Amino acid sequence: MLFSQMLTPTCLAASLMFATALAPSMARAQDEATEAAEAQRSERPEAPKEPKPDPQAAEARELLEAASKLLTDAGAFSADIELAADIEQAFARDLMPTASGTMVAAEGPDGEWRVRIEGTTRAMGQNEDSNFDVLWESPNVTTIEHLANKVIEGPATRVKGVLLSTVGRLQSIPGLSEGGAPFAALLASTTSRLTLGDDVVIDDVDCRVVRATLVVAGKPQYHSITLGADDHLPRRIMRHNIGFGSGPAIGTEFSNFVLGEEAAAGKTWTIDTPSGYERDIIETPQARIPNRTTTGAGTDAGAKSPKITPSYPLSPKWQFQTREGEVVSRASLNGMTSVLYFWGTWSIPSKQAAPLNNQLWEDFGEQKHFKMVGLAVRERDPEAAYEAIDEAGFGWTQLVGADKVARLFEVERYPTWYVVGPAGEVLYQSGKPEGGDFEPIFADMRKAIEKGLELSK
């Protein structure tokens, strides 16, 4: 007999009454359990959300790369320029300085770019226009300050002047005044974010707008770069103080571009001192490349080999021509992670390190953004040095007689290795090997190379 058939109507009624009475308690218990579970979930820290990829970033990068390639391949360009300001308040617009003139930019023999701007300006608080002439040749700038009857020449970070403070805003192509190719530093930066702004029309030319956010020293910089939709030439470049679409923006409007050798024809890259003017030369401070944690002269022989440091000094500017006629320089290695190996065929430790050098080249030599350069010094017979290079099986670039380059790097012992990052920063400098053991040096060097290759991406 089934259980349900065994229940009498009285039993069924009692069971239903018991279930009905118990239901509210069960519901409350379930609600309390649900609330407790939700409370527990709310107390858990949320996993960090990955930023959503900007679908416009790839297109913005392509536009900027096209503009950079156009100007870089030309080797030189000129344009008429005018200071531009986007300021809502009328009283602030009236106080803005004015400036207009001509910009000429060209790649120098060392592979670094230089810029010269000439024209007229009316600085803030001035009633009359003044002529200006400014030359940027990284790391220096030369400017004529007519208000002080001076020509000032020196490091760009140290030269100050009333006219220069106004004219400096005209040189708005990112990275150009630092010697880099147009927009190259912005494209290579690992902290830059690119997207697109609204299309605009300038002088009847359809234009695309690239918005670039670059973090420098922990602070964001906002650039809007307006490029011709078809010719990719810059029409306007603005620097926004607060962010895109808010606050004032100051920059440059460009017109009448000329590309190629014709643009720099007859242009000189020196500024003479006019009659009756003084020339004020500000010396470049001589700072040694920090040799943090390296073992050197005057230190304990048992000190540990150098480590990669969190902040990197910039390597010296240098160039050297190979016997095949190729010019190798800091500029030619931009965007690459490079190992500079200072050595000599006369140096016994250099001979001992040869197998490790070959292994390093074998491990990294096929990397797209890697370069290794040997710089042999104090060689009395260059041909004999090249024979020794062939015998050692060095398959990378070799420069013989690079004594001046070694002095620029203040090399004190041989061999010495430098690992230089894609922006010319010194990622690593070797010290004296402990007990003649080069293995720790190469282990640290590999870490620096991998760090540089990450920066090169």
Q: What is the pLDDT of residues 338-349, one digit of tens each?
A: 999 999 998 888
218-227, 354-363, 370-379, range with the lowest pLDDT: 218-227
pTM of the model: 0.54
Q: Environment class of residue 79 by beta-carbon count within 10 Å: exposed (0-12), middle (13-18) or buried (19+)?
A: buried
DSSP-assigned states of every residue in 388-455: HHHHHT--SEEEES-HHHHHHTT--SSSEEEEE-TTSBEEEE--PPGGG--HHHHHHHHHHHHHHHHH
Q: What is the pLDDT of residue 19?
A: 41
Q: What is the pLDDT of residue 291?
A: 43
**What CATH number does residue 391 fall under?**
3.40.30.10
Domain identity same for 213 and 68: yes
Among 105, 68, 439, residue whose Cα is nearest residue 267: 105
| CA triple 347-353-357, angle to 5 deg | 125
Report the share of the chain in percent with pLDDT over 70.
76
Average pLDDT over residues 199-203: 95
- Domain that residue 169 falls in: 57-281
Could you tell me if residue 274 is inside a domain? yes
Three-state SS for 13-45 is HHHHHHHHHHHHHHHHHHHHHHHHHHHHHHHCC
Domain identity same for 130 and 229: yes
Confidence band of 100 (pLDDT split at 50, 70, 90): very high
* Number of domain units in the chain: 2
Could you tell me if residue 108 is inside a domain? yes
Domain identity same for 277 and 141: yes
Q: What is the pLDDT of residues 250-308, one digit of tens each?
A: 889 999 999 999 999 988 899 999 999 999 888 655 444 444 333 333 333 333 333 34
